[in-house]
């Protein structure tokens, strides 16, 4: 199976890597801990806030998978290698 290559600048790749690290190291663990505490704290049936947190956790997991896929399939483009008069990504 051939993957579609995603063109990224070095800065774009760095931003995605930073976002991924933030989600993995901070957002997701904090949210998971809150969900655990809430679940252990009592009745969670028909609790809209609890459901919203579960949806947010699922959304973060999806974003992590999306970023990992983008980075895995990334092709780094050189912003300085453009030829004059040629339209290219980042020109």
What are residue 70's phi and psi, to 5 degrees? Answer: -60, -45
Q: What is the pLDDT of residue 82?
A: 57
| pLDDT tens per residue, range 66-85 | 999 999 999 888 766 555 55
Nearest C-alpha neighbor of 90 from the set 76, 72, 71: 76
Question: Alpha-carbon distance 91 to 77, whole Å?
Answer: 11
* Residue 59 pLDDT grade (very low, low, confident, very high; cuts 50, 70, 90): very high
Q: Tell me the mean pLDDT in the region 11-23.
A: 97
Q: What is the pLDDT of residue 18?
A: 98
In contact, 76 and 9? CB cutoff 8 Å = yes
């Amino acid at each position: 199976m051939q993957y579609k290559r995603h063109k990224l600048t070095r800065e774009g790749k760095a931003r995605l890597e930073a976002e991924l690290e933030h989600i993995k190291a901070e957002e997701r663990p904090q949210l998971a801990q809150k969900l655990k505490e809430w679940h252990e704290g009592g009745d969670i049936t028909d609790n809209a806030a609890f459901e919203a947190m579960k949806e947010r956790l699922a959304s973060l997991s999806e974003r992590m998978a999306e970023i990992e896929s983008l980075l895995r399939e990334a092709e780094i483009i050189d912003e300085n290698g453009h030829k004059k008069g040629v339209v290219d990504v980042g020109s």
